[in-house]
Amino acid sequence: MSKKNNVIIGSGLSALMVARMIKKYKNPEAKITIIEREAKIGGQFGSVDYGKHGHFDYGMHIYYESCIPEIDTLFTSLLPENEWNILENNYKDVAGLFVNGKLQTLTPYVDLRNLSETKIKKYIAELFLNIQKQFGKTLPDGANAYQVLEYRFGKTITDEIFVPILEKLYHNHPSNLDEIATQLTTINRIALFNEDVILDLMNSAEIRARVCFPNQYTMPPIRKNKQRGFYPKKYGMFRVLEKFKLELENEGVEFYTSTMVNDLQIENDEIVSISVSDKEGIRKIGNIENVYWTAGLPSLASVLKIEMGQMNYDKQLNTAYYVNILFDKNPMMDKLYYFYCFDKDYRTFRVTNYTNYCPKANENRGFPICLELWAHQGDVTDEKDILDLALKELNSFKIINNSYKVTFAKVDKALGGGFPLPTLNNVGGMNAIREKIKQKNVKNLTSIGVYASKNVFFIKDVLTDAYNKIAYLN
């Protein structure tokens, strides 16, 4: 009899890692088929190819260790150690922030030290009073982003500093946003004290959780773990994905791209076959052992024919673009890998300077940057106008000036419509979908990915969740 088939839906990083986990930790002889609806694999970890102008990643994507060796070695072993840029200690993740009209290069957290003495005293007093007030208390389950920030910093800092930032990013007051919104960008700490003062204060875990060290380059080694970042020395995360695919194919894994899943046939609470369609037509994949769904909960709910009733999602009001540009010289971002923009009058979400963490990114083509731009309704939509807006904002950040020459530029819409809107309604909807999928009790179906388990969003958590699920499968 032919081997039973382990089918993985989706081909992003989590899907490829699942395939390696099965081969490494479950059954080296397992038959695995990966189905991807797009023409190429990789999802957000992929790259776009501009021919003679080279590749651009989809924004900033470095592999950050989960600190579980059984997971991380599956990725890092794809290349010899001397072919990786290994980013560690204070240079693991060098980020900045444009806020209050200034680019901060020493810290990615909002720096309040330049405010008036009266304002600083007020913030310090409220912060310490709030720490004392909240000491020993915990937030209730389901707390919204506003409640989380108020619990951490007090009402004044929350209202005056963080409410405008979250309203700029998500067009919602944080009371309408899920707690995850406080983790997506650098708003879980503030810079409030100089280095000599904070060194003494850092002995307190309560303060350390709220106040950052103001200089990321000289920060002392007080860390929970030794997490590192990995990026190939030869620019382009697509190179790792190609190696991933080759390794898996050598192990007998089959890839079907440009292929849609139409239906799952279920008998006795198990998937027995999968109906798919591609350019050749409709066919069935049978003899199923397990199905690992990494392509998102809504699409899984759809093929399972789960009735979602009156569930209405809050739509993202921003249209997300990748503005990819080659300059004739390195933008003036100091050592920053990327920075966020929190000022409300800008459309920029994040700017990434690839050369600062991959020195060969500019090899034979110029200096590549990616500006992730979130356009509002009614904004310009013509590519030239979007590019003009991006260049105007880059000049305003003072990371380029009139002496910089653009040697290539291209605007692309972000994958999947851009960043998911982290409202209470949307996250609650995802939680409800997950529960309805669970109630279906399909024994050989495992959901993996964002929100596949509660509070799982970042790739580190996705991979840890996947590893735990596969480790406990029969």
pLDDT digits (tens, 9 = 90+) for 410-465: 999 987 666 678 999 999 999 999 999 999 999 999 999 999 998 899 999 999 99
Question: Tokens 């957000």 sit at which residue?
Answer: 44
For 148-162, what is the mean pLDDT?
A: 96
Cβ of 304: how many Cβ atoms within 10 Å?
A: 18
Quote the CA–CA distance of 255 and 176 in Å, as a whole number: 41
Quote the CA–CA distance of 82 and 50 in Å, as a whole number: 27
Residue 421 to residues 20, 84, 344: CA-CA distances in angstroms?
A: 31, 34, 17
209-235 pLDDT, tens digit per residue, is 999 999 999 998 776 778 999 999 999
The pLDDT assigned to 3 comes to 83
Quote the CA–CA distance of 288 and 224 in Å, as a whole number: 42
Lowest mean pLDDT among 85-89, 249-253, 305-309, 318-322: 305-309
The pLDDT assigned to 357 comes to 97
Q: Are 172 and 166 in contact (CB under 8 A)?
A: yes
The pLDDT assigned to 310 comes to 62
The pLDDT assigned to 71 comes to 95
Quote the CA–CA distance of 312 and 65 in Å, as a whole number: 36
Residue 70 to residues 148, 289, 467: CA-CA distances in angstroms?
A: 33, 24, 9
For 63-68, what is the mean pLDDT?
A: 94
Question: Tokens 């440009």 sit at which residue?
Answer: 258
Query: Can you give the C-alpha Rg of the chain in angstroms?
Result: 23
Quote the CA–CA distance of 451 and 2 in Å, as a whole number: 34
Closest C-alpha among 5, 25, 10 to residue 469: 25
Q: Is the pLDDT of residue 1 over 60?
A: no
Quote the CA–CA distance of 211 and 139 in Å, as a whole number: 19
The pLDDT assigned to 419 comes to 67
> pLDDT averaged over the chain?
93
The amino acid occupying position 468 is N
110-142 pLDDT, tens digit per residue, is 999 999 999 999 999 999 999 999 888 889 888
For 46-54, what is the mean pLDDT?
A: 94
* pTM reported for the whole predicted model: 0.93
Quote the CA–CA distance of 25 and 198 in Å, as a whole number: 45
Can you give the three-state secondary structure of the chain, one letter per residue?
CCCCEEEEECCEHHHHHHHHHHHHHHCCCCEEEEECCCCCCEHHHCEEECHHHCEEECCCCCEECCCCHHHHHHHHCCCCHHHEEEECHHHCCCEEEEECCEEECCCCCEECCCCCHHHHHHHHHHHHHHHHHHCCCCCCCCCEHHHHHHHHHCHHHHHHHHHHHHHHHHCCCHHHEEHHHHCCCCCCCEECCCHHHHHHHCCCHHHHCCECCCCCCCCCCCCCCCCCEEEECCCCCHHHHHHHHHHHHHCCCEEECCCEEEEEEEECCEEEEEEEEECCEEEEEECEEEEEECCCHHHHHHHCCCCCCCCCCCCCCCEEEEEEEEECCCCCCCCCCEEEECCCCCCEEEEEEHHHCCHHHHCCCCEEEEEEEEECCCCCCCHHHHHHHHHHHHHHCCCCCCCCCEEEEEEEECHHHCCCCCEHHHHHHHHHHHHHHHHHCCCCEEECCCCCCCCCCCHHHHHHHHHHHHHCCC
236-290 pLDDT, tens digit per residue, is 999 999 999 999 999 999 999 999 999 999 999 999 999 999 999 999 999 999 9
The pLDDT assigned to 186 comes to 95
Give the list of residues 6+ apart from residue 142 with CB closer than 8 angstroms, or none.
none
Q: Is the pLDDT of residue 367 over 80?
A: yes
